[in-house]
Amino acid sequence: MSQNKITRRDLIKVFGASAVAATGLFGMSAKAYAKGANHVVIIGGGVGGSVCAKYLRFADADVKITMIEQNPEYITCLRSNDVMVGYHTLDELTFNYNTMREKYGINVMIDQVTGVDYDRKTVSTKNGEKVQYDRLVVSPGVDFRFQDYEGLSKELSDTKIPHAYKAGPQTLLLQKQLESIPQGGTAIICPPQNPFRCPPGPYERASLFAEWMQKHNPRGKVLICDPKDRFTKDGPFKKGWERLYGYGTDNSMIEWISGSQGGRVVGVDAKNMTIETDGDDHKGDLINIIPNQQAGKIAQIIGLTNHSGWCPIDRHTMESTLHKDVWVLGDSSIADAMPKSGYAAGSQAKVAAQAIADSLHGRSPGKAIYSNVCYSLAGENYGVSIAAIYEVRDGLIKPKGKSAGVSPITDKPAQPILEAVYQKNWQREFVKDVFS
């Protein structure tokens, strides 16, 4: 098949009729595929899926790539905490798939995947499409376990007790609730049990709420009811809270109740705006329960999860250990020491993209090297971070060399100020790595 002479019929053969119609595939850069070109299908156009699509294009110019995403636009969770306190708008965090299509020749289908037939290597969708694959990538994010809390449900989270742990309407609902807290009122944040998406997320949120209250509700208070006794970057976070919000004093704007102090929330009474914990009941003007989590629903439906509720993978490649020629990325995967972060999802996606290209061309992949850096804000100009490079050792993904570490606690004001600068630099750069 000669370059640029790809016909509508060719495209339909490759991608299916409604895919061609729905995506305007004809508008993309004139990318022609050889007959019998390999087809990689990606479920989920979030961080893991999009980075994988793009870097697979870098690793293999000739492979056909189809990404199936249920929403026409993606709103990043990253920096969605900022939206609640007015440092960002949701619009600034919203991305479409035009560049994916035009610059990288990726066929983006807006549709929901409903099942996979592993024998026939076919993905089926809500709109009735059947898409054949040679390699399948699954990166569907997380699913929430509302059932772990008496009185909580998905409906309640959409209306009164938002988790705001997928960016969108719930982010704006929580923002409105923060603004509506009466003077001297209380915001309750209930982080989930490990493992969960964005381990510093709830604590960053508490920090930004406290900072917002300093300006708009100076007698207000943030209460964190935690099932855990430690949390990521707790050293630098608590130091930041001491410096910024009087943490540890009687007038602290943030109070943290750990698991052993009875902080675990077991139920909610939405009518009376009260949570029940292992310790006392607490009344709040805002209640933000971030439920326990498990692999994205579709990963469960198509049998990629084990007893833990997450997806086991070959640590060298991110290929599923339960189904052949299927890769699982990001939050849904069991990646040991790597946190469930966007940075980690992107890192895994790059390793997987190379491994998939290698597998299609009969090459053996090199040693897997992963990375993660999570920047959080303890205040608008006060950053804290955790960073590590990872390798596979003794069958597990572990920090490589002496790389793992959190921000040092020093008396130099430059450290947290520069980390906040880097945090903003990182966010701009990261979304480019995913979507530009």
| Residue 331 interacting with ligand FAD (CB under 6 A) | yes
**In the Cβ-directed half-sphere of 77, how many Cα atoms lie within 13 Å?**
23
Q: Minimum distance between the CB of residue 124 and ligand FAD, rounded to whole angstroms?
A: 11
Tokens coding 354: 């190379």
Q: Which does 81 bind (CB under 5 to 8 A by kind): another protein, ligand FAD, none?
A: ligand FAD
Q: Cβ(385)–Cβ(406) under 8 Å?
A: yes
Tokens coding 311: 């997806």
Phi, psi dihedrals of residue 434, rounded to the nearest 5°: -85, -45
Q: Which does 428 bind (CB under 5 to 8 A by kind): ligand FAD, another protein, none?
A: another protein
Interface map 94-113 toward another protein (x if CB under 8 A) = ---------xxx--------
Q: Cβ(222)–Cβ(204) under 8 Å?
A: no
Residues 232-261 contacting another protein, CB under 8 A: none
In this chain, which of 320, 350, 356, 376 binds another protein, going by CB under 8 A?
350
If you ran DSSP here, which 8-state letter would residue 365 be given?
A: P
CB closer to another protein out of 285 and 419:
419
Q: Minimum distance between the CB of residue 111 and ligand FAD, rounded to whole angstroms?
A: 7
Report CA-CA distances (Å) from 267 to 147, 150, 174, 356: 10, 4, 19, 44
| Residue 47 interacting with ligand FAD (CB under 6 A) | yes
Phi, psi dihedrals of residue 29, rounded to the nearest 5°: -50, 140
**How far, in Å, CA of 8 to CA of 289, rounded?**
49
| Residue 198 interacting with ligand FAD (CB under 6 A) | yes
- As to burial, measured by CB atoms within 10 angstroms (0-12 exposed, 13-18 middle, 19+ buried), residue 145 is middle
| Residue 331 interacting with another protein (CB under 8 A) | no
| Residue 204 interacting with another protein (CB under 8 A) | no
Interface map 107-146 toward ligand FAD (x if CB under 6 A) = -----xx-------------------------xxx-----
| Residue 395 interacting with another protein (CB under 8 A) | no
Question: Where do runs of H (alpha helix) occur along 60-141?
Answer: 80-84, 98-104
Tokens coding 427: 């966010």
Q: Minimum distance between the CB of residue 430 and another protein, rounded to whole angstroms?
A: 4
Interface map 36-75 toward another protein (x if CB under 8 A) = -------------------x-xx--xx-------------
Q: Which does 354 bind (CB under 5 to 8 A by kind): ligand FAD, another protein, none?
A: another protein
**How far, in Å, CA of 293 to CA of 421, rounded?**
31
Candidates 233-241, 265-273, 323-331, 341-349: pick the segment binding another protein (CB under 8 A): 341-349
Q: Say whether the peptide bond before residue 195 is cis (omega within 30 degrees of 0).
A: yes
**How far, in Å, CA of 94 to CA of 74, rounded?**
6
Q: Which does 405 bind (CB under 5 to 8 A by kind): ligand FAD, another protein, none?
A: another protein
Q: Tokens 């707790």, residue? A: 234
**Triad 137, 198, 281: Cα angle to 5°:** 130
Q: Cβ(213)–Cβ(220) under 8 Å?
A: yes
Q: Minimum distance between the CB of residue 104 and ligand FAD, rounded to whole angstroms?
A: 17
Q: Tokens 């449900």, residue? A: 153
| Residue 87 interacting with another protein (CB under 8 A) | no
Q: Tokens 């040679």, residue? A: 134
Which positions touch ligand FAD (CB under 6 A)?
A: 43-49, 68-71, 74, 77-78, 80-81, 112-113, 139-141, 165, 197-198, 201, 296, 298, 330-332, 340-343, 345, 374
Which positions touch another protein (CB under 8 A)?
A: 3-4, 29-32, 55, 57-58, 61-62, 103-105, 316, 343, 346-347, 350-351, 354, 362, 364-371, 373, 385, 387-390, 399-405, 407, 415, 418-419, 421-422, 425-426, 428-430, 432-433, 436
